[in-house]
Amino acid sequence: MTGTLEIAGARLLLADSVSPPTTLTIRDGMIAAIGVDAPKGARELRADGLLLAPGLVDIHGDAFERQVQPRPGVDFRHDLALIDTDAQLLANGITTAFHGVTLSWEPGLRSETAFRSMVAAWQALAGRLGADHRIHLRLETYAMDQWPSAEAAIDAGAVHLLAFNDHTAEIARRAADPARASRYADRAKVTGPEVLALAKAMLARADEVEPFVATAAALARDAGLVMASHDDASPETRARWRALGCTICEFPMNEETGLAARAADEHVVMGCPNVVRGGSHLGWHSAEAMVRAGAADVLASDYFYPAMRHAAFALAARGACSLPEAWAIVSANPAAAAGLADRGRIAAGLRADLLLIDDTAPAGPEVVGTLVSGRIAWLSAAGAARLA
């Protein structure tokens, strides 16, 4: 975009400190200057009393699935889901979002058809959404038959991160219990016994998995994609994925695995809802404990977009780290993990992906305004009143 915008009176959340109230100038979508008055005629956004922070970078978010399938068996078009999700992202200060799109052997919500619909919607909406939307392909290791659709999407530049997931054995185990099978049956629009039969049929092809994963990883490396592994159970498991080129460790099952990944200079992702709620809803490892131990350096929305900003403030309030350090975990660090060097921090020459926060709001930090590449993409009623 063109034009100049001055944000005046805000405290800046910098990499190592919070500045006194100052002025930040945006020109042509970039941060042009800090502490210097903008040229005469620039638009001005008064931000007295507010905190100006780097935009949130969500490297793993599945919440958009609730717009696609808000109730079991009730589906809506992916373009409608993305448009609605865009509004949610901006209202929560998320300026870059990697949508965790699962490609599985399952029918329904995570099927090949659904994946192709999501890719088509993303392509059709290019340039029309407020946030920077990207596709994080969560590839099931047993999705051998669905791989051609993934390969086509990668060739088309529609995949921005590839993560390997292996939930097949877990689905088979849970689907054997009729009471637990409904979770998978509902999203797949089949019966519980049908889910179990499908999962068992896939497990019978276990000898195909390793060569398939090696082929998929090689193609992703050739395409320059960042890759991740998911739910690593041990340092040994992490080492196997590292050998394939996976530089991100998503949701490791224990601290030991997270520490091994960090020791190898790899990024470790945990969930913001885990921090906000005080623990995992599945009874797994504490994300806050992982951060405190140095075993995790990235937090993602996972399944609840508002959790990102609340998690950062919670970590700071509980003394796990300073606010600048906590904010890096939801902004600068995920940007670095995804290979995006142009965002995640407030500094001259970087993209003006920013959010204004009322950090004194009674219910917790409240987003007042969101800017994406220098453009005002969302304002609350209070924020709109500040635009001169």
Q: Are 273 and 281 in contact (CB under 8 A)?
A: yes
Cα distance between residue 57 and residue 194, in whole Å: 38
Q: Cα(first)–Cα(last) distance of the chain, in Å? A: 19
pLDDT at 284: 73
Residue range 26-44, pLDDT digits in tens: 999 999 999 988 778 888 9
Token code pair at residue 314: 């919670």
Residue range 124-139, pLDDT digits in tens: 999 999 999 999 999 9
Q: Are 184 and 250 in contact (CB under 8 A)?
A: no
Does residue 294 come out as left (phi exceeding 0), alpha (psi in the -120 to 50 range) or beta?
A: left
pLDDT at 1: 41
Q: Where residue 72 falls among pLDDT bands split at 50, 70, 90?
A: confident
Residue range 197-211, pLDDT digits in tens: 999 999 999 999 999
| Backbone phi and psi for residue 208, each to the nearest 5 degrees, phi listed first | -85, -15
CATH architecture of the domain with residue range 4-54+345-384: Roll (2.30)
Exposure string of 220-254, with b = 16+ CB inside 10 Å and e = fewer, is beeeebbbbbbbbeebebbeebbebebbbbbbbeb
pTM (2 decimals)? 0.96
Cα distance between residue 8 and residue 184, in whole Å: 51
Where are the domains positioned within the chain? 4-54+345-384, 56-165+209-337
Q: Are 105 and 208 in contact (CB under 8 A)?
A: no
CATH 3.20.20.140 fits 56-165+209-337, yes or no: yes
